[in-house]
Amino acid sequence: MKVAIIADPIDNQKGGIHVYTRELVRALAAHGREHEYLIVRERHDPELRAMEQLPIPNFRFGLGLSALRLFFYVPWVLRKHQVDAVLEPAHFGPFNLPARIRRITMMHDLTPILFPQYHNWHSQQLQRWFLPGILKRAALVLSNSQNTERDLHQHYPQTRGKVKTILLGADHLQRQRTESRAYLDEIGLAQPYLLSVGTIEPRKNLVRLLEAYTSFRQAVPQAVRLVIAGQRGWKSEAFFEALQRHPYQKDILLPGFVPDAGLTELYSHALGMVYPSEYEGFGFPVLEAYSCGCPVVCADNSSLPEVGGKWAFYHDAHDSSSLAQALLRFYQSPASKRLELQHALSAWASRFTWAGYVKELEQALTELSAGRDECLKT
C-alpha cells in the first residue's frame, strides 16, 4: 500500500505533534518495510534520503492561500501520485479526497473538547466544527493510549471498531543517568530537591503542587527544594501569584527553559519528579525521568498510569492533600527501595521504542489494506 504522511508539523510546529511526526518519519525511514511511504511537508529535507518527499510550500501571509493548499493543492498532488491512504499526524484533515483513498487520523488527546478552557476560542471552534466529520470519514483512527481510545469512544461513538492504540516510543529522548553536575553547579543547586517538568500553564496543576509542597515541607525535617523546569505559558498568572505568597518561596527555583544536557542532570540527581497534571495524552516527562532512574510522583488520571506503570507514586490531581501524602510516601520510602527502583525504571522506559511503534503501525496498515482488497472483490 502506498501511504502519504502529512508531515507539515515537522516544519510548522514545535510541540508534541512536531515530535511525534518527526520521530514517526525517522522510524518509518529506518524500520518501515511493509508499505511504500511518501512524505508531504512544507520543505525538502536533504537528510531524509530513504523516503520519497513531496515538498509543497505553505503561504502563511494569507489565510485563503493556506486553505487553498490544504483543501485543494495537497489533495490534487495525492491523487496525482495515486496514493492508497493518507496518514494525518495532526488529525486535522485530510479533505477533498476521493473515496478510494483511505483516511488515517492520529488522535493525541481530546483536550480541546474535554478542557476547552485550556485552549483559545479559535482552536475550540475548529475542533468542534471539523472533528466529528474527520473521525466519521477516517478508515483508521490511531490513538496513543487506552485513555485516548476511551475518550474517543465516549464522545465520538462512530469511532468504535476502527481505533488502534499504540503507545509511543521514547527512545528518541536518549536519556540515561549521569553523574555530571555542571548545570546544577551553574544554577547553584546543591541541596536535595524535587523536580517538576513542563510548561507553566493551568493544565499542569502547579498551584496545587505549591500547596502540597507547603504541607510536605512542614512534615519533613530536611530542607528539600522544589525545582519547576519549564517556560512560562499562557494563563499562568494564578501560579505566580501563589508563588509570591508561598512560605517557602526562597526554596522554589524556576530555571525556565533548560537545555537538554541540563535536564538530564536534573532528572539524574533529583529525589523524584512530580507530575501532577490534570490530563495528558501520553506524558513523555514520566519516561524521561524513568530513563534516568528518577522515581515519579504523578496524578492517577488520563494516560499517566499506562506510562507510569506500577512504579509511580500516584495521587488525586484535584486534591493537594493527596499529592502531599504521595510525596511523603515516596520521601519516607527506604533508600534501598529507591536504589532498586533505578534499574526497574530504566528497564520499563526501554520498552517504549519507535521501532516497536512502527511494527504495530504497519500491522494495522496491512489489516486496513487487506480489508480494502476484500471490499474490492465483493
Predicted pLDDT of residue 378: 34
181 and 154 assigned to the same domain: no
Nearest to 287, CA basis, from 312, 262, 314: 312
323 and 367 assigned to the same domain: no
Residue 58 pLDDT more than 90? no
CB count in 10 Å sphere of residue 245: 8
pLDDT digits (tens, 9 = 90+) for 305-364: 999 999 999 999 999 999 999 999 999 988 788 788 888 998 999 999 999 999 999 999
134 and 203 assigned to the same domain: no
Residue 374 pLDDT more than 90? no
65 falls in which pLDDT band (50, 70, 90)? low
165 and 239 assigned to the same domain: no
Residue 376 pLDDT more than 50? no
Predicted pLDDT of residue 172: 85
Predicted pLDDT of residue 117: 82
62 and 118 assigned to the same domain: yes
User: What letter does residue 99 receive in the DSSP assignment?
Assistant: T
For residues 293 and 176, what is the distance between their CA atoms, to the nearest angstrom? 8
Predicted pLDDT of residue 173: 80
pLDDT digits (tens, 9 = 90+) for 231-285: 998 889 999 999 999 999 999 999 999 988 999 999 999 999 999 999 999 999 9
Predicted pLDDT of residue 64: 58
375 falls in which pLDDT band (50, 70, 90)? very low
88 and 222 assigned to the same domain: no
159 and 177 assigned to the same domain: no
Domain of 179, in residue numbers: 173-349
190 and 154 assigned to the same domain: no
Instruction: Decide which of 336 and 300 is more confident.
Output: 300
CATH of the domain at 96: 3.40.50.2000
196 and 337 assigned to the same domain: yes
72 and 191 assigned to the same domain: no
- pTM listed for this prediction: 0.87
Distant-in-sequence, close-in-space partners of 68: CB < 8 Å, separation ≥ 6:
none
Predicted pLDDT of residue 61: 58
pLDDT digits (tens, 9 = 90+) for 20-29: 999 999 999 9
Q: How many domains does the chain have?
A: 2
Distant-in-sequence, close-in-space partners of 195: CB < 8 Å, separation ≥ 6:
227, 229, 266, 267, 270, 272, 273, 274, 289, 294
70 and 133 assigned to the same domain: yes
In degrees to the nearest 10, what's the CA dihedral of 68, 74, 80, 83?
Answer: -150
363 and 222 assigned to the same domain: no
